[in-house]
Amino acid sequence: MAFTFFFRDQTPLEHAVNFMIKAASGRSKISIWDAGCAMGQEPYTLAILLAETMNYFALNNIKIYATDYDEPLLKILKEGCYPWDELQRIPANLFEKYFQPDAQKGYFRLTDKIRNLVEPQHHNLLSLLPIKDGLSLIVCKNVLLHFNQAERIAVIRMFHKALETGGIFVTEHTQKMPEEISHLFEQLVSDGQVFRKVEA
């Protein structure tokens, strides 16, 4: 259930980051929620994409809240340290830049700059309680498929409320926006499930 890897679905994540940066430009604080983050590969991929796109000062204003309901997964995320065989999909230049060999042989740790962008938090999506509001971007990929249709709709409605005006929501390619709530979001690209919040 926690299958994931670094740079999974890179294209939609890049689209989401680019749309979010445009929408949130000029804000003093930018909050991002990665919901169902597993062991951290996805929020850290986001952090690397942001570090590659934004300047040092803008990056200091970003926080990625990475949540999951499975506590042991969050422990791995907090460590930010992964075995080499899980890191081979990362483009070589980015691996060089953002990972350092760990004392544990065969493991590599993300740099402090990247780890400090990500804040792990325990959270059950089916509580339907947002971690905070005014979010600029919500990433929830390969999680909603585990819910029934009513739960899925309720969770996406909760995301809609938690996003700031013009905020971005991204989910996996195979996850279609339910008809009942399609008026709440505008799809932004044809090659990914990347949406902008529409005010209800």
Ligand X SMILES: C[S@@+](CC[C@H](N)C(=O)[O-])C[C@H]1O[C@@H](n2cnc3c(N)ncnc32)[C@H](O)[C@@H]1O
Strand partners for 83: 107
Closest separation in Å from C-beta 25 to ligand X? 26
Closest separation in Å from C-beta 172 to ligand X? 6
When asked if residue 95 is in the footprint of ligand X (CB under 6 A), the reply is no
CA count, 13 A, side-chain hemisphere, 183: 3
When asked if residue 2 is in the footprint of ligand X (CB under 6 A), the reply is yes
When asked if residue 36 is in the footprint of ligand X (CB under 6 A), the reply is yes
Q: Which of 52, 70, 86, 102 binds ligand X (CB under 6 A)?
A: 70
Closest separation in Å from C-beta 140 to ligand X? 7
Q: Which of 131, 158, 125, 162 is nearest to 144 (CA)?
A: 125
Q: Which of 69, 113, 157, 196 binds ligand X (CB under 6 A)?
A: 69
Q: DSSP strand E in 71-199: where?
A: 81-83, 99-101, 107-110, 118-122, 135-139, 163-171, 185-187, 193-197
When asked if residue 181 is in the footprint of ligand X (CB under 6 A), the reply is no
